[in-house]
Amino acid sequence: MKKILAILLPVIVLVVLGGGGSLLLNSLKPPVERAEEQPRGLSVFAEAAEATSLELKVNAQGEVRPKRQIVVAPQISGRVSFVSPDFVDGGFIRQGQVLVRLESADYELAVVRAKSGVASAQQRLARERAEAELALQDIEELGIEDTSPLARREPQLAEAEASLDSAKAQLADAQLALNRTAVTAPFSGRVRERTADLGQFVSPGQSLGTIFATDVVEVSLPLSDEELGRTGLPLAFQESEQQRGPKVVFSASVAGEPREWVGRVKRTSAAINPQTRLINVIAELDDPYGAGSDNGVPMAPGLFVNAAIDGRSVDSVVKIPRSALRGVDQVFIGDGPAGELHIRTVDVVYSTEDGAYVRSGVAPGELAIISPIQAAFDGMKIQVVERMPDGSLEPRTPRTTSMSSDSEEGSAQVASEGEGAPQ
């Protein structure tokens, strides 16, 4: 028994001393401060709104058509005896150029007959004048004072004068018909198509082909009422020296290359289209085959073009990113220092891929949130990171911490502060 006690007593003493020392050390250890991070909101990107002015644009599409286009047709009948080599599809023609000539033999004979009729009428008139003078002499010699017009041969003289006028009219008509055997171009331009050829017999009014003028082409651009208001044009607009039409930039792909032409709005159509409820704005381009061409490439009739119309100017607007616009008229604004989201209703003036322009609801310098947010509400806690114009990122919401005990947990919290920030 004494041997057992001799062995256990030192062990018991060591255990008691060790446990007591451990408790004493723990009681004397100062408490460790613990860093507790406040609950963090959703990290979002935002861009600053900026004050600017706006030049409105209206985009439309339309088909190019010549301002003047006619069907070439003869005013008389006859067989085609000549066709100009320029009177072909795509040919260039000049004003006054003979396009088609008809056989003129019959009309030349008609002129000869008419001239003969004039000569006969002139001879008859001369005879009647001589006879009228003789009748007046006889009346004077006989001393007759009260004579009838018939005795003075006045009706016969009037008839002879009328016959001469009729003969001259027939001569003019025959000469006119002879002149009309040559069908000439009333203006300079190009030939769209030709429908008659050498040797063909044609009737008055029959189509010989179609030509159009190349001095001006026009494009009819359908606009809605809102788009018309953006251009600043009245409903009944006609360009004048005092009121010039807005500039229009036409664009299209020709032979696989993009081309541009610059014209102007000249007028609006007389009425609103009852089917589409749109109004047509007529834009024109001068000299499309010359000075108005794009490096020699004309804006040819039949080409389908896009048109960008210069609209009115709007001052004192605020530009925000297009992706910041939520729905029709809402924007999420990030309050960086407070770390809160605010929902604003804005008055949108115009929006493009480059940005949205608002008249009210957002002040210059405020941060418009561009990140997608699910179930957003006013006052929602967020972490705002501003995207700068050069692409760099700047955090705008400060991070706050409170101190508590537990050294190991505090170290873990501090180490996790960088998690969840937007990249």
Q: What is the CATH number of the domain that holds 195?
A: 2.40.50.100
d(CA 33, CA 80): 112
The domain of 226 spans 59-66+215-314
Locus of tokens 């990113």: 321
Residues 342, 409: one domain? yes
Identify the pLDDT of residue 406: 39
Residue ending a domain, among 198, 214, 230, is 214
Pairing of strands 42-48, 382-387: parallel
Q: Is 90 a member of any domain?
A: yes
Domain-located, residue 242: yes
Please give the tally of structural domains in the chain: 4
pLDDT for the residue 411? 31
pLDDT of res. 420 = 36
Q: What local confidence, expressed as pLDDT, does residue 418 receive?
A: 35
Residues 265 and 370 in one domain: no
What pLDDT does 55 receive? 86
Give residue-wise pLDDT tens across range 120-144. Answer: 999 988 888 888 888 777 777 777 7
DSSP-derived letter for residue 247 is E
Q: Specify the pLDDT at position 412.
A: 30
Distance CA 116, CA 164 (A): 11
Q: Which residues of the chain have pLDDT under 50?
A: 401-423
What is the predicted pLDDT for the residue at 29? Answer: 61
- Residues 267 and 394 grouped into a single domain: no
Instruction: Check whether residue 375 and residue 290 sit in a common domain.
Output: no
Distance of CA 354 to the CA centre of its chain: 19
Tell me phi and psi for residue 214, to 5 degrees. -110, 10
Query: Which of these, 305, 327, 415, lies nearest to 376 by C-alpha position?
Result: 327
Q: Residue 236 and residue 271: Cα distance in Å, rounded?
A: 9
Residue 11 lies in a domain: no
Distance of alpha carbon 213 from alpha carbon 229, whole angstroms: 33
Q: Please tell me whether residues 89 and 196 are part of one structural domain.
A: yes
Q: Residue type at 409?
A: E
The packing angle between helices 154-179 and 105-142, to 10°, is 170
